[in-house]
A and B are shown apart, each in its own frame.
Chain A
Amino acid sequence: MSTRAKLMVAVVFLVLLGGGIAAYKTLRLGVPFWKGEQVHDWQIEARISFLATGKSLKARLALPAAAVEQKTESESGSLGYHYHIESDLGEYTAVWSAENREESQALYYRVRIPDSTSSGGEPLPATAPEPGNPGFSGSLAEAANAIVNRAKALTSDPDSLFVAIFDQIRNADTSQEFLLVKRHYEKEFKHNAMILMGIDLLEMANVPARIAYGVKLEEDGGSRPPVPLVEYCDGAYWKVRDPMNPGAVLDGHSFFVWHRGGGPLLDVTGGEGSRVVFTVAKERIPMASLADLRHSPLLVSTILGLPLSERAVFRYIVLIPLGAFVVVVLRNIIGIPTLGTFMPVLLALALLEIPLARGLIMFAVLIAAGLWFRFLLSRLNLLVVPRVAACVVIVTLLMMLMSVVSYRMGMSGGVQITLFPMIIIAWTIERMSLIWEEEGKHSALTQVGGSVVVAVLAYLFMKIGQIQYWAFYFPELLLVLLAGILLIGRYTGYRISELIRFKTFAHS
């Protein structure tokens, strides 16, 4: 068989395989092929971790009532643990128990909720609870009373009192009394000091209040600890609000109240250092087909069978082949010169994390400063690897400096730049300076400019929502992409840049 025939067989096979699996998923399992505006659900995964101390173990995680009562899909991951759900007057708790465990343990509880206006923090009828008393004495009691009275004087009902107290806390009031109380709480409590302080102040004003926990419905957040909320009683109902945004009712599209009612969220006996983190992901696949997908023996299940926290990693990984494809097209068909073959892909990935303009400015500053430093280094006649390593150190320091400066100047997000590929930038500087010396600055700037153009185009391609959707939900389409790359690998026609390069042949 000739090379050409082999290639065509491979291409046809890949297209049929990738396209076939995608067609099966969309036609038989009902996974929507177009991203569209269809309703999605939210997957929330709670991950409990702790260090077992060897005795009998019990972990209890409070569950959202809505998840248990509405029979939404939920599951728990716990190898070798006995697991059941305990129900107590409308409050639910997941209980895991085991004997003789050692080392670090991880337990999962995953629930799927529909995207709706209901956050789970709606008012619940209350049966006249008694407000507690923080039991202050002396100057502390006087100070706290002064704050409460001042807030009470301005307000008429528990709702506005709640807003007044938490506005003071949020705006870091500078009055004497406030600072005194604040210092006391910061000393007493390691976590959520300000929220506990607000709760106590509310109780002193005869508004019963307690802590609740919620999860922000954002896909890009990674694993995060629960968000502390405040639940208070306005006389007839228990209401849940976000103390960071006291004036607003919780929006079910961006917030989900995981636990209310005042009990502990997580309780582990027989273990140390327990904590719970939440990971959130959008789920666009109908619930009925998801079970089929997960248990399908084919490649079909792919990423969807993984825990959410691991799935989140793939949101970016599946984009890398797309970036590589863009590079192949731009280099082999258009003919844009770049510094290093896949450096633009890494730059494009970094740009996905930072706003485009800021990323490009940062890249330019890093390259310029690094080049200047590299020319200083070249006077020392260092060997190659130490020289590049020196560049890495300088680039890292420069990035820290830029973070600090941008933070001081009030630009948030200066801290996100950790993903910037520093090693790649150091190599880029090294190669650029070599080309600068050997072929002149024109050549060096052309190649860096080409790399940036390719990176931005790759970024724009990877940014398209539909493309991201396909890469994540139909990773088998990457086989079709592979077929395309193989075809380009045998493309023997002219590059666009060569049409210009060889224009002198017009006269021959």
Chain B
Amino acid sequence: MHEDSPLESGKWWHRWLLTPRELRARGVVGINMRNARYLLPNNPRKLYRLVDDKLQTKALAEAHGLSAPETYTVVRSPRDAARFESKLSAHPSFVIKPACGSGGKGVLVIDGRDDRGRYLKPSGAALTGDEVRHHLANILAGLFSLGGQRDNALVEYRVRPARVLTEISYQGAPDIRIVMLHGYPVMAMLRAATRESDGRANLHQGALGIGIDLATGLTIRAVHHGKPLFKHPDVDVDLIGIRMPGWGKILDIAVTCQEMTGLGYLGADIMIDETLGPLMIEVNARPGLAIQMANGVGLLRRLEPVVNQHALHPGVGHAEKIAFSQKHFAA
């Protein structure tokens, strides 16, 4: 794969673009290839609902003994919304999420209550019980769900990210995305918020993508809007060489996500809690391609060996898959 001359860099057009031949030589996967070769053949349509509805994903996770944030209550009707406060009296902090939301839409984080019983957001803003109820009503009405259909609201444990992670993020909680094919982890990245991304971990809104070495769990490269960088733009901290705590367990969760959903190609989103360790947050059936830039490696370099391995040894177990990935996809 390395014999091609287009690999040599420094051509005049590289300021603006790379030719298809050059991208191919680097093993970069485009949207069309992802959809036609990996998504469509490996992800049957009927499995999508398992991951598009977080209630179903969490039920599956529980059945498979997977660690995930504890569900305090599910608000399914205006009546539930009316008496949500009585259900949450034991929990000072919690997160409200639309069950079928995507991209962090409609997520409300409550850090605690003030002495007047109002709810406090991480920014310090206070919400009355009525305001929280209105947010719940919006979620039920489908304001944040795909296509605007009716939805349920999920109230769950508020993850307190491990210190190493909060240090490299400007507000917000960083999460780890692991892309899997046939149950083999192929690539991993950490998504950290910046001032520009406003606490959210969405790459095209200006969050950082930080590549993680599958073998060691060390961060290896960071990009901001596709450009490599070494220090956080807002916080003066190095982004490279940070070790993810509990890396073995993180890979274990990712592989279990594949086993429980049956999706061939997926992205597992995982957060690391300071006390509880790694927790499964959600599963994405259409993971994006920015992870390639965060790692500086084309996905095809990882996907093709997995396709071969899967064809040769279809019935490989959980631990062997992780071992294979850690051995072959080390940075």
Residues of A within 8 A of B (CB): 332, 335, 381, 383-385, 438-440, 443, 490-495, 498-508
Contact = CB atoms under 8 A, between A and B. Distances in A.
B218 interface: no
Interface stretch (B60-68, B140-148, B182-190, B267-275): B140-148
A499 B228 contact: no
Contacts of A494: 20, 23, 28, 30, 32-33
A495 B10 CA distance: 22
A322 B32 CA distance: 22
Given A495-B32, A502-B23, A384 B142 contact: yes
Nearest to A490: B36
B23 A499 contact: yes
Contacts of A491: 32, 36
Interface in B260-304: 292-293, 296-298
A385 B148 contact: yes
**Top 4 A-B residue pairs of the complex, sorted by shortest distance between their CB atoms:** A506-B14, A384-B148, A508-B296, A499-B17
Given A385-B148, A493-B20, A504-B227, 19 more contacts: A384-B141, A384-B142, A384-B148, A443-B204, A490-B36, A493-B32, A494-B20, A494-B32, A498-B31, A499-B23, A502-B23, A504-B223, A504-B226, A504-B293, A505-B292, A505-B293, A505-B296, A506-B22, A508-B296
A505 B26 contact: yes
19 contacts: A384-B141, A439-B202, A439-B204, A439-B205, A492-B30, A492-B36, A493-B33, A494-B32, A500-B16, A500-B17, A502-B18, A502-B23, A502-B226, A505-B26, A505-B292, A506-B9, A506-B10, A506-B14, A506-B22
Interface of B: 9-11, 14-20, 22-23, 26, 28, 30-33, 36-37, 103, 105, 134, 138, 141-143, 148, 202, 204-205, 223, 226-228, 292-293, 296-298
A505 B30 CA distance: 13
B18 A503 contact: yes
A508 B297 contact: yes
B17 A503 contact: yes
A505 B296 CA distance: 7
Interface centre among A332, A335, A381 (most CB of B within 10 A): A381
A507 B227 CA distance: 10
A438 B23 CA distance: 31
A381 B134 CA distance: 9
A430 to B, nearest CB: 9
A438 B227 contact: no
Contacts of B14: 503, 506
Nearest to A335: B31
Contacts of A493: 20, 30, 32-33
Nearest to B205: A439
Nearest to B227: A504
A3 to B, nearest CB: 8
Contacts of B138: 381
Given A381-B138, A384-B148, A439-B204, A505 B23 contact: yes
Contacts of A506: 9-11, 14, 18, 22
Contacts of B22: 505-506
Nearest to B103: A438
A458 B109 CA distance: 45
A499 B19 contact: yes
